Structure 1
Amino acid sequence: MRSVDEHRQVVAGLFATAASTAVPLADALGLVLAQDVIAPLSLPGFDNSAMDGYAVIADEIADASADQPVSLPVVEDIPAGRTDALTLKAGTAHRIMTGAPLPAGATAVVPVEATNAATDTVEIRVGAKPGQHIRRAGEDVTAGTTVLAAGQVVTPAALGLTAALGLGELSVIPRQRVLVMSTGSELVAAGTPLKPGQIYESNGVMLTAAVREAGADVVFTPMTDDNVEVFREALDRYCADVDLIITTGGVSAGAYEVVKDALTDSVDFVKVAMQPGMPQGCGTVNGTPIITLPGNPVSALVSFEVFIRTPLRAAMGLPNPERPRRTAVLTEDLTSPRGKRQFRRGVLDADAGTVTSYGPPASHHLRWLASANCLLEIGEDVDQLTAGSQVHLWDLA
């Protein structure tokens, strides 16, 4: 058998980081910057008011108070967006709104709350220091500086900054485009009445969610029966438009193993020393990487976590591609098959630092995986663990 670590290396070798591409800001959230973002202009681009109030010369109102207000004629009204250049003359005030350009000559802004809010002659009831309530040009960003670095994940705040700089697109590492295929003549779509021997398809839904949660896009999700010709036709139809193919089912040692029968010449089908998820396969189809997972649902999702999620995220440049690894104190005795690395569902109590296995280890018990928050990783050379011992785990929370 191939070891888990060996198979992880083989699978990881199938992935390559895609060339960077420019995308509109609306499509960039969650992607990784491929290039630094250099500010083409300063922010703010001009001196402007930080308050709704009055632009004044600070020295002229230095002694203003509620008992002895300073009265000034209001000769201009400056809303945000006014574009003509204005100059404040001595002995006057301009009413000004937040974000509006400061007139030349003004040295402070008095908040409207400290005045009588008049539009003809304003009474100013507090003094002001030079520079008060003024946003100076370039105090946030200076043109020519690096404001976002390559390798950063694009966040809402990063998009806001980019838009404020007048940039309409960003150079990013694109999302991997993934084809998820479920196989099996017993599978039917939800909403279809079940006949004897049929089950509802769930792996495609589950793996599609896992791919998207990892940051990639699922672009096609066909389902085929155990017919090699039908499977191969569907594969050929979609594979040219994706970066990765994931199949589930049809890889074991029995009859009617459609994936194995169809791809013997292009996929290396192996047994991996793990439980669950022993039958695995990987290779390329028409130059596109393909990873074939077992059909039992727990095996499929555990295999995705162990072999696919990390290199998939790494191919998109995403930080921390691996699940967090921890150790915790086991609350019970456990047995494990020697010679295989076992991944058991578990419930981690992070506050107490303890973990309890959750549900039977068999690969069809999906209910327990749905409520687990970690995977216990038990090494190949271990056949039993006692309560109170340290155990390694993958944090899925």
Structure 2
Amino acid sequence: MPAERAPDWLSAGDALQAILAGVQPLAAEERPLMQALGSVLAEDVVSPVDLPPWDNSAMDGFAVRAADVLGASPEAPVTLPVVDDVPAGHFASRALGPGEAIRIMTGAPVPDGADSVIRVEHTDGGVEIGAAAGRVTIHLDADTGRNVRSRGEDVDEGDVVLRAGTVLRAAEIALAAAVGRPSLRVVRRPVVAILASGDELVPVEEFEQVRAGRRIVNTNSYALAAQLAEAGLEARVLGIARDTPESLIEHLKLAAGCDALITTAGISVGEHDHVAGALQAMDTEVDFWRVRVRPGSALAFGRVGALGGIPWFGLPGNPVSTMVTFALFVRPALLRMCGHTRIHFPSMTVRLAVPYSARGDLMHLPRVRLDRQADESFLAQLTGPQGSGIASSMTAADGLAIVPAGAELRPGGAVRVVVLNGAPLVEQPPV
């Protein structure tokens, strides 16, 4: 940040609250049903029909009247003439009369007059079906009054089958299709711009420069794009800006049309940290800079006026710091922009396997692996060295332990852990 701005040093909870207060759900749009998975419904969906639309069979078997087969058993079977054959997608040619049976397949409409479907396993399978002499012998009456799915058993015409605010999973998509909706109005999902900066960075395609000891790979853009995809969001990677105001402004302008902007690195007070200056030139209003967490203290948030006031998330440059701050601060905000109310990873209280000291005035977020014990409890093990540049500490992590500033934890002590990529999401923030 500019030298004249002092660090705000917000607590993690205050920083998260400020970010969430600074974003709102986007406008609704109509999306084809096959493209609506994961979106949040922006309207109630009312069924124009009963589901199922007619009484139908829950089994392959024979439609009968219960009174005609009561008492049937292996010792005293009941034989009935079979007067029709109804596969799925077809209707009986006539009503069922007393003392008759109609062969029927699962899902086929139950003929008028029938109140039971005897599954084929309780019969001899029928003989000469389709001929005048067709008949079936029933060996068991256990299905009398059963295996008929009633019209409207699932949904009545006029029912609200899906409420606004519902997250559309496979089941909701199926139900929307069942009530005749080829498209739905949903909250638009944000397109998120990602910009990395630094003369030392190259894309992975230029790895030979890394091998030669001259550059490092821009891992943050790959990590953030993947984290966005995991959340069901679209990334627009703007490339790598060089450490000059001109290059940064040129790249930042590429975020035009996006709904949010994430930058990594370049917002400290070093001589070559030009991101803050470039953003200032683009009329950026900064809400805060610096949070009392480790890793990830160099977190900033604001809005870029030159890009239509879209939210800006300034993340630290170290790879672990980038991924951690995205998971705890950025992802929830973007999910809120999607219309979600459950936006936070869940947390759980576990036992710590080793001692841990959170010296200083920053809350620590060590990466941990969760090992299930014989008593079904979990033991949190550190993933190894916890430096913010050790990306491998994230690959082994199931979660982030939350250790308050100044805490001295002993082995076996209780610690709360944010479960990364845990489900279901929750409304209550973990920090």
> How does the TM-score come out when normalised to structure 1?
0.88
Following TM superposition, by how much is the alpha carbon of 1:69 offset from its aligned partner in structure 2, in angstroms? 5.0
AA partner of residue 138 (structure 2): R
Specify whether residues 244 and 64 from structure 1 end up closer, same or farther in structure 2 by C-alpha distance, changes over 3 A only: same
Partner secondary structure for residue 124 of structure 1: strand
2:24 — aligned with what?
16
Partner secondary structure for residue 252 of structure 2: helix
Specify whether residues 105 and 332 from structure 1 end up closer, same or farther in structure 2 by C-alpha distance, changes over 3 A only: closer
2:189 — aligned with what?
175
1:280 is matched with which residue: 299, 305, 308?
A: 299
Residues 61 and 124, structure 1, Cα contact 8 Å, conserved in 2: no
Specify whether residues 343 and 63 from structure 1 end up closer, same or farther in structure 2 by C-alpha distance, changes over 3 A only: closer
1:1-397 matched pairs, under 5 angstroms: 1=7, 2-4=9-11, 5-62=13-70, 64=72, 66=74, 70-82=78-90, 86-113=94-121, 114-118=123-127, 119=129, 120=131, 121-126=134-139, 128=141, 131-192=145-206, 193-194=208-209, 195-240=212-257, 242-264=258-280, 265-268=283-286, 270-285=289-304, 286=307, 287-349=309-371, 351=373, 352-380=377-405, 382=406, 384-396=408-420
Instruction: Count residues with an aligned counterpart.
Output: 395
- For structure 1, the 5+ residue unaligned runs are none
User: Which whole-Å deviations, capped at 9, do the CAs of 1:264-289 have from their partners, x for residues lacking one?
Assistant: 24153733333222323222222111
Specify whether residues 211 and 12 from structure 1 end up closer, same or farther in structure 2 by C-alpha distance, changes over 3 A only: same
Q: Which moved more, 1:276-285 or 1:362-371?
A: 276-285
In percent, how many aligned pairs have the same letter?
34
Following TM superposition, by how much is the alpha carbon of 1:202 offset from its aligned partner in structure 2, in angstroms? 0.6
Partner secondary structure for residue 289 of structure 1: strand
Residues 338 and 383, structure 1, Cα contact 8 Å, conserved in 2: no
- For structure 2, the 5+ residue unaligned runs are 1-6, 423-431
Following TM superposition, by how much is the alpha carbon of 1:178 offset from its aligned partner in structure 2, in angstroms? 1.2
Residues 116 and 122, structure 1, Cα contact 8 Å, conserved in 2: no
Following TM superposition, by how much is the alpha carbon of 1:204 offset from its aligned partner in structure 2, in angstroms? 0.8
Specify whether residues 334 and 59 from structure 1 end up closer, same or farther in structure 2 by C-alpha distance, changes over 3 A only: closer
Partner secondary structure for residue 209 of structure 1: helix
Distance in 2 (alpha carbons) for counterparts of 1:387 and 1:125: 68
AA partner of residue 115 (structure 1): D
The alignment's C-alpha RMSD in Å is: 2.8
Specify whether residues 51 and 384 from structure 1 end up closer, same or farther in structure 2 by C-alpha distance, changes over 3 A only: closer
Residues 183 and 258, structure 1, Cα contact 8 Å, conserved in 2: no
> How does the TM-score come out when normalised to structure 2?
0.81
User: Which whole-Å deviations, capped at 9, do the CAs of 1:208-240 have from their partners, x for residues lacking one?
Assistant: 122222343224453333243233223223332
Partner secondary structure for residue 365 of structure 2: strand
Residues 61 and 126, structure 1, Cα contact 8 Å, conserved in 2: no
Following TM superposition, by how much is the alpha carbon of 1:139 offset from its aligned partner in structure 2, in angstroms? 1.8
Distance in 2 (alpha carbons) for counterparts of 1:332 and 1:239: 48
Residues 52 and 97, structure 1, Cα contact 8 Å, conserved in 2: yes
Distance in 2 (alpha carbons) for counterparts of 1:317 and 1:288: 16
